Structure 1
Amino acid sequence: MKITHLECWQHEMKLSEPFTIAYETIDRCVNVFLRIETNTGITGMGCAAPDLPVTGETAATVLTAFKECIEPVLKGRDPFTYKRLNHELKKSLAKHPAAHAMADMALYDIMARKAGVPVYKLLGGYRDSIPTSITIGILPLEETLEKTRQFLAQGFRCIKIKGGKNLEEDVEKILKIRETTGPALGIRFDANQGYTVAEAIAFIDKTRSANIELLEQPTAKHDNELLKQVTQNVHVLVMADESLMTLFDVFHLTRHDCTDMINIKLMKTGGIAEALHINSVAKAAGVDVMVGCMDESALGIAAALHFALARPNIRYADLDGHLDLTGDPFAAMVVLRDGVLYPKEGAGLGDI
């Protein structure tokens, strides 16, 4: 099998409503799509969701990476030599993880289609579905409560609340949500680096009665010692997100007991192949794993879902980045029922 043609293009998608976190508000996103054709007639698809504050990329840099690296490396090559191909790509794409993820997932898509199985089965096939949380951005209290009620009615059993800008408002929201919904709803909180160590500890202390599941990235990503201080001084699981980009990061975070959990996002790690290595380090360290996402097409969500379904120690999923997008050409690539995600039927990443 040989790769004969590659095509790459960008696609803008609006959000159904603006979404605010601790450091930005967005109302649209731009993804970049990749199609890889082979001499057997099998085609693989990939998606990049560049995010300048997180991955250091834009759609323009992804397109440049495609022209200068991805296409020259992959054209004429056998996709089943993906280890070699990823090794060569990584030399030029170390600072372009979303672009690398786009190419990596397309290679896995091709291999699984050739094998006639879904990607998650090619990777090991531990489970065939996983519950996902759904995220509520920073909103006034009453709007937050109304969205919570709507999501409960839709079948979701876990929500993630964004915060980190105002400690007292964050505390009030969490307590009111628990008061409104009762004990059954899972509540996760993501400060997106917005807190100091003292604020993070105070937040957990003041919301103790709400029994939240986890606290995500409370402190600045550039200083893991801050994250460690929070981890060692609260009773709730603390999860690293923005602090985790590479295999070295997970080694450092786990070796020095900086975190209880890690959030693996394919767009940060450079794709499935590297995510598998990161997950193995977390497993060896006894650290729980969540698979998360950016604002990305259901094509990118599908790749993350297949990865999450393939490993037993991936206990959590936060794969909702496609749900608020309008004009997603791959919207049907994953199936959501009552807060549970299922892969689309068919080989590879699913029937397109």
Structure 2
Amino acid sequence: MKITNVESRLLYVPFTRPQVWASGARPGSTRLLITLHTDDGLTGYGETICLHEFIQPVVERTIAPLVIGHDPHDIERLHRKIDGAGYYHHQRAAVAALAGVELAMWDLIGKSAGKPLYQLWGGGFRRLIPTIAYLHARPPAELAAEAAEFVANGWQTIKVKIGLDPKTDIAAMRAVRDAIGPDVLLRGDVNGAWTPGTARRQLAKLAELDLEFVEQPLMLDDLIGHAQLRRGSQVPICIDEGAFTNTDVLNIIRLEAADVILVDAHEAGGWCQARKQAAIAEAAGIPVGIHSGGELGLSLAANLHLAAATPNLSLAIDSNYHGMPDDIITERFVYQKGALAVPERPGLGVEIDWDKVDRYTTDHIHDAYINRDRPDWFTMKPAY
């Protein structure tokens, strides 16, 4: 089986309401849909995050010429080809583009074998995947009410975006904890908005809330700062944005910088790399979760397969899917008390709804993190 053609389409699906956080605001999710055609008639589909204009040209001008004529089973070989095309020194510029193409290759592999991806990745360690309820920046009372509603519908893990200002952060987390009670897991995500001094003070205040962890309290590349912070913190520390590459994950472990690591295949360069990152963490006894960038059904399906087959991926996975009013697959995923079932059909196990694809096709990136309700505001990291 050889790949004969590569196609890409830029999509934009609005969120139910804009998501406000320490990095700005997102009105919806801009994604790139990848289609791979083969000489034996199979078609594979992939998806990746697309916050930057260069991602689609990287797919079309760099990766497509390398992948045409390529056997989709040879994923490791493709990664080395991309390194050789000049991205060895600029890996983070290519990872999102490569992830979408790699996912379409995995879809082809699964369809060719007649098996769902989780069976090719080690089998079903678990088949029902718990997800978090994602709460973005709003007044504490509104967050508390929203959290209570999620818990009433079966969710057992709540994640709150913080990192906006010192008082609001603490008030929001306390309000949510009071609303959900002591038995539901609670996380806070700072998105790198704190200075080391602020982080120490805020974590000391949050310690009484029995948090599962606080995610990315410091800037993404400050691994030593995270290690120093972790040594003095009663609250477990999670790193996400600082865990792009396999070497990032290894250095986090070397420095003892985190109690938890969130992997994201779109940031890692694909699910092949995300699986390696989980294995590196497993060897160090560190649990992993999955970060969400607003996935549609293709990437969500892939994440469910990854969670199903990875023993130490034991934490509820991030997902913005409950905030997505629509999707581009024929059958939306349905929550079962906050959990999602792993697809059982071959490949990704989902089908494309081309009418929806046509509806959500766009020709530009939609705002990325710009907050149009605050025109004079811009991101400062660290913020305080």
TM-score normalised by the chain length of structure 2 = 0.86
Give the drift of 1:130: 1.6
Q: CA RMSD in A?
A: 1.6
Alignment map for 1:1-352 (pairs within 5 Å): 1-51=1-51, 58=52, 60-92=53-85, 93=87, 94=91, 95-125=93-123, 126-330=125-329, 332=331, 334-352=333-351
Which deviations, in whole Å up to 9, do the C-alpha atoms of 1:100-153 show, x marking residues without a partner?
110111111111111111111110122212211121011111110121122112
Contact 2:117 2:346 in 1 (8 A): yes
Contact 1:50 1:267 in 2 (8 A): no
Contact 2:33 2:46 in 1 (8 A): yes
Contact 1:333 1:350 in 2 (8 A): no
- Matched residue type, 1:20: V
Aligned equivalents of 2:117 and 2:333: distance in 1?
Answer: 13
Give the drift of 1:222: 2.5
Which deviations, in whole Å up to 9, do the C-alpha atoms of 1:153-204 show, x marking residues without a partner?
2221111011012122221222222222221211011111111223222223
Aligned equivalents of 1:317 and 1:90: distance in 2?
Answer: 33
Give the drift of 1:327: 4.2
Count how many residue pairs are aligned between Structure 1 and Structure 2: 345
Runs (4 or more) in structure 1 with deviation over 6 Å come to none
- Matched residue type, 1:213: E
Aligned equivalents of 2:107 and 2:332: distance in 1?
Answer: 13
Structure 2 segments unaligned to the other structure (5+ residues): 352-384
Aligned equivalents of 1:63 and 1:20: distance in 2?
Answer: 26
Contact 1:299 1:333 in 2 (8 A): no
Q: How many percent identity over aligned positions? A: 28
Aligned equivalents of 1:215 and 1:36: distance in 2?
Answer: 39
Q: Which has the higher contact order (CA 8 A, sep 6+)?
A: 2
Give the SS at the match of 2:40.
Answer: coil
Aligned equivalents of 2:330 and 2:12: distance in 1?
Answer: 14
Give the drift of 1:331: 6.9
Give the drift of 1:302: 1.3
Aligned equivalents of 2:259 and 2:98: distance in 1?
Answer: 27
- Matched residue type, 1:220: M
Give the drift of 1:333: 5.7
- Matched residue type, 2:16: S
Which residue number corresponds to residue 361 of structure 2?
none
Give the drift of 1:330: 2.5
Contact 1:6 1:34 in 2 (8 A): yes
- Matched residue type, 1:104: E
Aligned equivalents of 1:290 and 1:90: distance in 2?
Answer: 27
Give the SS at the match of 1:303.
Answer: helix
Structure 1 segments unaligned to the other structure (5+ residues): 52-57
Aligned equivalents of 1:333 and 1:86: distance in 2?
Answer: 31
- Matched residue type, 2:283: A
Give the SS at the match of 1:329.
Answer: coil
Give the SS at the match of 1:130.
Answer: strand
Aligned equivalents of 1:203 and 1:292: distance in 2?
Answer: 23
**Kindly tell me: are residues 63 and 16 of structure 1, through their superposed partners in 2, closer, same or farther at Cα, counting changes over 3 Å?**
same
Aligned equivalents of 1:187 and 1:80: distance in 2?
Answer: 40
Aligned equivalents of 2:14 and 2:328: distance in 1?
Answer: 12
**Kindly tell me: are residues 157 and 144 of structure 1, through their superposed partners in 2, closer, same or farther at Cα, counting changes over 3 Å?**
same
Give the SS at the match of 2:54.
Answer: helix
TM-score normalised by the chain length of structure 1 = 0.93
